[in-house]
């Protein structure tokens, strides 16, 4: 529900939102520019009487003096019968230039308020403010859900690309955008009479005045007792009319001043409603709060980026899932399909199941696992299609499922089936699906079929599951889904460094470059090489052996901006792909595709980053260090076999220590006289690591599964004094693993 409330209004109103936000950002500069031109005397230094006396000296035909919210003093006067306005110096009364509002800002303000139209435009602007409020609220709920709860909103976020940009910008800007939208919505509501305007600020004109000889303006007591910094405006009496009065408006209220006695007449204090109205206007426009206006303007600049990234996210999701039609609601759905996916690929399979069940006459509701309701009163059947992320964990759209399941009330007669998606080459193949199946069964829900698994998105296995399920639930199903194959690229080996041959554990650092253009393409102007695909250190490359269609995945140790693709590969006994890679010679080519791995990245910011790896697992960690141009604190714990034979990346690490991209390095070697493993170094540095964790450090672990388990155990021990665990840090996005 929250995703729908967030995405649909945003897509429909994107152009208006961008217009309102961009013009608002431009207008936010105006109060700051005005403030830079203003001379602001200290409180109590200049009275309104003194200011008026100085102004009248230079402008004898003064009609009005106004103090703008920025502090600029403007005098309105007659010059040979022609009305004019000047900005004046409050300390001297001298003019410092004509007061002429910028035509550009006036045009932008009209565009911002009414899209260059009259009342219809103002109505549309108010509706856009309401949509912004709706998007801020729904986006906040989505952010909280993604972060693991409201208390986790400020913790590091996982992910990369559009999703990461969208979430980080939204987290930065949501309060400013919400405040701008609420205050703008209020002003629009006042404009159209939906909210009452402030009343009671204008006093009645005095029935009697002294009518005596007018005194000099500097001698009027009421003006002497009014500080300039409290002034809104002072309107002068009509010349040669002893019955007329000065009209005085200040922060405290409004009244009239007898031009003969200087007495304050009919003073009306500002009402609380008026004060609140003025505060809301200041918060929205920045007038009188120029610094706050700049903050809101900066937040508004995020809207174009949020709109574009949000649209791209929506399109990517729609492209991978297809448009789900006939989605029933919670109350009437008799079939519920829950989807757990990291990169939306599982949604494609769920869509096929959804369509087939609808065709069979079922009322089907398909939602993310995180959107599990407390109950589905009409449901008799529930299917859970979920992938597994990392070391047996939940994917992004299911990271809150187990928590929500603890509050789930299963209706009588409800049955379920779980289908897991994964890759058999990983040890915890479909582990999360197994855990979901067990948790559902423990609630007493009847299992329709044993948990089933789909290896590498196999269309054949999906169809076989559908055929088996069809017989068990007595519903005709023909589940055919062929996910779009990844785009393959060719890479040419340009350099390699080999280690570990002496100890019979060959490991190589392989660097691939782009392919040089050939044929007619080589004669065209521009680059002479085919561009590399987009990737970052920590992403994966799926290498497809020529005689074997099953890809093998390797973590990338470089980013596209490095101009090369780098991997660190240990040769496995009998390994088809590792053997192929180790036999490559300079100039040889491989085929592969990029699989983003956005949830294995160092978090931005100045918090320490603790990198832990063993063997070839150092690859992406070296890539993270290489990209640490900001010199944020980064520490590496790495384990090898022998420093003379397989100290991977030693020259690079020494260079990174020298230029401070790497803050500290601790190594452990298991084939030396002083045998040690990486977990031993962690235990030795437990107090230091505990202090870094307490200061918000993030831990990234890459390498073999046994090493990762041992590291997790020692970390749990050192975390005991802090009252936390590795599992807690994982939920907070502060303990990430890329293990194999």
CATH number of residue 672's parent domain: 3.40.50.80
Residues 524 and 646 in one domain: no
pLDDT at position 1 over 70? no
What are the distances in angstroms from CA 625 to CA 315, 635, 649, 663, 690? 33, 9, 11, 10, 21
Residues 304 and 161 in one domain: yes
How many degrees, rounded to 5, is the angle at CA 30 between CA 184 and CA 70?
90
Residues 20 and 125 in one domain: yes
Residues 193 and 208 in one domain: no
pLDDT at position 519 over 60? no
Q: Give the pLDDT of residue 713.
A: 95
List pLDDT tens digits, range 442-501.
998 999 999 999 988 888 889 999 999 999 999 999 898 877 777 888 999 999 999 988
- Three-class SS state of 572: coil
pLDDT at position 226 over 90? yes
Q: Cβ distance 210 to 246 under 8 Å?
A: no
pLDDT band at residue 685 under the 50/70/90 scheme: very high
Residues 695 and 617 in one domain: yes
Asked if the structure places residue 430 within a domain, the reply is yes
Mean pLDDT of 395-417: 90
Q: Give the pLDDT of residue 387.
A: 92
pLDDT at position 529 over 60? no
pLDDT band at residue 161 under the 50/70/90 scheme: low
Please tell me the total count of domains within the chain. 5
Residues 220 and 192 in one domain: no
Q: What is the C-alpha separation between 306 and 309, in angstroms, rounded?
A: 5
Asked if the structure places residue 482 within a domain, the reply is no
Asked if the structure places residue 95 within a domain, the reply is no
Asked if the structure places residue 281 within a domain, the reply is no
pLDDT at position 156 over 80? no
Mean pLDDT of 267-291: 87
Q: Give the pLDDT of residue 159.
A: 56
Q: What is the C-alpha separation between 343 and 506, in angstroms, rounded?
A: 34
Q: Which domain holds residue 454?
A: 322-473
Residues 297 and 265 in one domain: no
Q: What is the CATH number of the domain that holds 369?
A: 3.40.50.360
Residues 239 and 255 in one domain: yes
Residues 25 and 155 in one domain: yes
Domain boundary among 413, 440, 473: 473
Least confident residue range of 13-27, 131-145, 201-215: 131-145
Nearest to 142 by CA among 2, 11, 5, 8: 2
Residues 109 and 85 in one domain: no
- Three-class SS state of 561: helix
Q: Would you state the structure tokens that stand for residue 235, as one six-digit string?
A: 């309107």
The pairing of strands 735-739 and 698-703 is parallel
Number of H helices, E strands in the chain: 22, 25
Q: What is the C-alpha separation between 296 and 290, in angstroms, rounded?
A: 10
Residues 303 and 338 in one domain: no
Asked if the structure places residue 420 within a domain, the reply is yes
Asked if the structure places residue 276 within a domain, the reply is no
Asked if the structure places residue 533 within a domain, the reply is yes
Count of residues for the chain? 740
CA 475 to chain centre: 43
The pairing of strands 415-422 and 364-368 is unpaired
Q: Would you state the structure tokens that stand for residue 566, as one six-digit string?
A: 């780098």
Angle between helix axes 119-147 and 2-12 (nearest 10 degrees) is 140
Transcribe 400-423 into DSSP letters. THHHHHTT--PPTT-EEEEEEEE-
Residues 446 and 366 in one domain: yes
Q: Cβ distance 89 to 96 under 8 Å?
A: yes
Asked if the structure places residue 655 within a domain, the reply is yes
State which H helix or E strand residue 385 sits in: strand 381-387
Domain boundary among 571, 595, 619: 595
Domain boundary among 595, 628, 654: 595
């Amino acid at each position: 529900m929250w995703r729908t409330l967030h995405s649909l209004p945003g897509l429909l109103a994107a152009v208006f939102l961008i217009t309102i936000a961009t013009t608002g950002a431009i207008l936010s500069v105006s109060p700051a520019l005005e403030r830079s031109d203003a001379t602001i005397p200290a409180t109590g230094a200049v009275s309104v009487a003194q200011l008026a006396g100085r102004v009248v000296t230079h402008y004898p035909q003064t009609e009005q003096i106004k103090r703008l919210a920025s502090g600029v003093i403007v005098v309105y006067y007659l010059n040979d019968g022609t009305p004019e306005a000047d900005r004046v110096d409050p300390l001297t009364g001298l003019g410092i230039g004509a007061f002429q509002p910028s035509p550009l800002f006036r045009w932008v303000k009209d565009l911002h308020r009414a899209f260059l139209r009259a009342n219809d435009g103002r109505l549309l602007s108010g509706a856009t403010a309401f949509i912004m409020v709706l998007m801020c609220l729904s986006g906040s709920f989505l952010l909280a859900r993604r972060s693991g709860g409201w208390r986790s909103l400020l913790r590091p976020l996982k992910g990369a690309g559009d999703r990461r940009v969208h979430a980080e910008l939204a987290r930065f800007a949501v309060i400013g955008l919400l405040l701008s939208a609420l205050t703008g919505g209020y002003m629009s509501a006042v404009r159209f009479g939906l909210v009452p305007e402030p009343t009671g600020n204008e006093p009645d004109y005095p029935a009697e005045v002294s009518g005596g000889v007018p005194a000099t303006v500097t001698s009027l007591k009421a003006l002497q007792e009014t500080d300039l910094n409290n002034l809104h405006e002072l309107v002068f009496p009509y010349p040669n009319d002893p019955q007329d009065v000065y009209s005085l408006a200040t922060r405290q209220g409004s009244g009239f001043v007898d031009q003969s006695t200087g007495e304050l007449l009919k003073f009306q204090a500002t009402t609380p409603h008026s004060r609140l109205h003025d505060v809301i206007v200041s918060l929205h426009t920045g007038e009188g709060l120029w610094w706050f206006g700049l903050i809101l303007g900066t937040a508004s600049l995020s809207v174009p980026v949020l709109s574009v990234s949000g649209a791209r996210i929506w399109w990517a999701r729609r492209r991978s899932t297809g448009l789900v039609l006939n989605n029933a609601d919670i109350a009437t759905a008799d079939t519920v399909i829950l989807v757990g996916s990291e990169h939306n690929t599982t949604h494609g399979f769920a869509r096929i199941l959804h369509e087939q069940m609808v065709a069979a006459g079922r009322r089907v509701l398909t939602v993310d696992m995180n959107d599990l309701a407390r109950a589905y009163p009409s449901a008799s059947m529930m299917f859970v299609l979920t992938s597994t992320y990392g070391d047996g964990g939940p994917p992004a759209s299911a990271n809150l499922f187990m928590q929500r399941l603890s509050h789930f009330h299963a209706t009588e007669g409800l049955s379920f089936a779980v289908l897991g998606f994964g890759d058999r080459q990983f040890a915890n193949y479909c582990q999360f699906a197994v855990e979901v199946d067990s948790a559902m069964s423990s609630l007493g829900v009847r299992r329709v079929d044993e948990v089933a698994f789909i290896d590498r998105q196999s269309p054949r296995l999906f169809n076989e599951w559908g055929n088996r399920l069809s017989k068990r639930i007595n519903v005709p199903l023909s589940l055919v889904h062929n996910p779009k194959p990844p785009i393959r690229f060719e890479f040419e080996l340009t350099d390699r460094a080999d280690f570990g041959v002496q100890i019979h554990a060959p490991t190589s650092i392989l660097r691939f470059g782009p392919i040089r253009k050939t044929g007619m393409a080589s004669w065209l102007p521009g680059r002479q090489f085919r561009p590399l695909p987009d990737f970052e250190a920590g992403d994966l490359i799926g290498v497809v052996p020529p005689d074997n269609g099953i890809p093998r995945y390797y973590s990338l140790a470089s980013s596209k901006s490095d101009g090369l693709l780098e991997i660190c590969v240990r040769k496995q006994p009998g390994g088809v792909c590792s053997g192929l890679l180790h036999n490559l010679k300079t100039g040889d080519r491989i085929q592969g595709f990029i699989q983003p791995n956005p949830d294995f990245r160092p978090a931005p910011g100045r918090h320490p980053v603790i990198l832990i790896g063993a063997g070839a697992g150092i690859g992406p960690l070296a890539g993270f260090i290489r990209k640490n141009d900001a010199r944020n604190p980064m520490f590496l714990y790495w384990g090898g076999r022998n420093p003379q034979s397989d100290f991977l990346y030693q020259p690079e690490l020494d260079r990174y220590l020298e230029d401070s991209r790497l803050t500290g390095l601790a190594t452990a070697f298991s084939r030396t006289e002083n045998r040690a493993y990486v977990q031993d170094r962690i235990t030795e540095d437990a107090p230091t690591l505990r202090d870094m964790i307490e200061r918000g450090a993030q831990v990234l672990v890459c390498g073999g599964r046994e090493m990762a388990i041992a590291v997790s155990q020692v970390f749990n021990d050192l975390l005991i004094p802090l009252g936390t665990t590795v599992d807690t840090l994982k939920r907070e996005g502060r303990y990430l693993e890329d293990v194999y």
